[in-house]
């Protein structure tokens, strides 16, 4: 069965010209009102602004182009994280190629046939396009749109219905979904929503049209330069870039295991960073504009 990521993308370019117009008369400008002060650029994060992700949730993807670290977020897609974790633990992904790579879009891999036709021997996974957000879910608000809330669960950008609606639902929760920003990891599938198995894709750039149509289960926290360096092609011509080894951070020998820490969205530095980016972007602001710093030693 063809599990190649289903998507039709199109772009149109429009040239706009304008005729020269007579120069208007110039009148003295009224005194400008004092501009509202912009949020000050935050100082560097302090010790309380960092968190260490669970090593059982960090996927280490060593490619021929370099290393990619992914934080898996089981709170939003528990079945998918469980499957990816099991396959990585078994070494299933070692040597598999990036067989479909589209610039400004995504890198697809995870097929033992390296052509989009295959999968693992494990059962397919039911779709987890959305999830239920309750008060117990770690969530840091970035934008309150009254009817919707946008923020972060760990490193993953998330949108949900307003939590004010939770009081009216049986489970006291609201519907939420992951945003397909750069670095987000999604599960490939065919026409059947419940056909995810082993193939996944890494977002090179934001692509909102995938939201609520494909399960997102994590995000790249280090190595976006590697993601964007993978050779482009649909299909990719020889030679193809590939994953040399894929392991959980906890499975690496302690002597060679990198020490990873990520900015905590709940910390004051990150909240100040959101304010700064939102002020700079204005009405164009999205959660994809906010980077989450990481340190790898």
63-93, pLDDT tens digit by residue?
A: 999 999 999 999 999 999 999 999 999 999 9
Which residues are registered as beta bridge partners of 186? 201, 216
Angstrom distance (rounded) from CA 278 to CA 75: 26
Helix %, strand %, coil % for the chain, to 5? 20, 25, 55
Of 216, 132, 126, 143, nearest in space to 176 by CA: 132
Burial class of 14 by CB neighbour count within 10 A (0 to 12, 13 to 18, 19+)? exposed
Element (H or E) spanning 67, and its range? strand 66-72
Tell me which residue of 161, 151, 209, 214 sits closest to 186, measured CA to CA. 214
pLDDT in tens, the chain (297 residues): 566 555 444 333 333 323 333 333 444 444 545 555 555 555 789 999 999 999 999 999 999 999 999 999 999 999 999 999 999 999 999 999 999 999 999 999 999 999 999 999 999 999 999 999 999 999 999 999 999 999 999 999 999 999 999 999 999 999 999 999 999 999 999 999 999 999 999 999 999 999 999 999 999 999 999 999 999 999 999 999 999 999 999 999 999 999 999 999 999 999 999 999 999 999 999 999 999 999 999
122's tokens: 């494990």
Integer-rounded Cα Rg, in Å, for the chain is 22
Token pair for 198: 């082993």
**Partner residues linked to 247 by β-bridges:** 60
106 bridge partner residues: 102, 203
Q: Which domains does the chain have, with CATH numbers?
A: 50-296 (2.40.100.10)
Contact 71, 61 (CB under 8 A): no
pLDDT score recorded for residue 43:
79
């Amino acid at each position: 069965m063809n599990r190649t990521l289903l998507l039709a993308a199109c772009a149109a370019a429009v040239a706009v010209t304008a005729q020269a117009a007579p120069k208007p008369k110039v009148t003295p400008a009224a005194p400008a009102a004092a501009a509202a002060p912009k949020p000050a650029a935050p100082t560097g994060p302090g010790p309380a602004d960092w968190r260490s992700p669970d090593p059982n949730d960090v996927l280490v993807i060593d490619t021929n182009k370099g290393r990619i670290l992914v934080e898996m977020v089981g709170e939003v897609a528990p079945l998918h994280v469980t499957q990816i974790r099991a396959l990585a633990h078994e070494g299933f992904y070692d040597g598999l190629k990036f067989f479909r790579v589209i610039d400004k879009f995504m890198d697809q891999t995870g097929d033992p046939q390296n052509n989009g036709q295959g999968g693992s021997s494990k059962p397919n996974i039911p779709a987890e396009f959305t999830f239920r957000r309750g008060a117990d879910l770690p969530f840091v608000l970035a934008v309150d749109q009254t009817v919707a809330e946008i923020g972060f669960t760990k490193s993953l950008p998330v949108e949900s219905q307003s939590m004010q609606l939770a009081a009216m639902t049986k489970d006291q929760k609201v519907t939420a979904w992951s945003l397909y920003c750069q670095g987000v990891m999604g599960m490939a599938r065919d026409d059947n929503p419940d056909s995810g198995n082993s193939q996944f894709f890494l977002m090179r750039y934001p692509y909102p049209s995938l939201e609520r149509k494909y399960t997102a289960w994590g995000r790249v926290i280090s190595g976006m330069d590697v993601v964007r360096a993978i050779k482009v092609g649909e299909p990719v011509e020889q030679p193809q870039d590939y994953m040399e080894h894929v392991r959980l951070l906890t499975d690496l020998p302690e002597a060679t295991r990198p020490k990873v820490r990520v900015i905590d969205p709940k910390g004051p530095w990150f909240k100040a960073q959101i304010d700064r980016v939102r002020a700079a972007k204005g009405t164009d602001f999205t959660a994809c504009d906010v980077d989450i710093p990481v340190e790898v030693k």
